[in-house]
Amino acid sequence: EELSKVKEHYREVSGGVTERTRTLNKLTEELEQVKKEMDERGSSMTDG
């Protein structure tokens, strides 16, 4: 009984971590994209 509670709790926690990691990766990708766009915009302004 106690063991199954622990296992369940572990599953919830590890699932949450996986979800958070996925979200973090997505945000990081989006941030990189924004940085790239800003760089391109910045360089086109100086070319201008």
Query: Per DSSP, which regions of 1-48 are E strands?
Result: none
Tell me the pTM.
Answer: 0.58
Rounded percentage of the chain residues whose pLDDT exceeds 70: 98
Q: How many residues does the chain have?
A: 48
Residue 2 has pLDDT above 80, yes or no: yes
Q: How many angstroms separate the CA atoms of 17 and 20, rounded?
A: 5
3-19: pLDDT as tens digits: 999 999 988 888 889 99
How far apart are alpha carbons 26 and 18 in whole angstroms? 12
Q: Which amino acid is at 4?
A: S
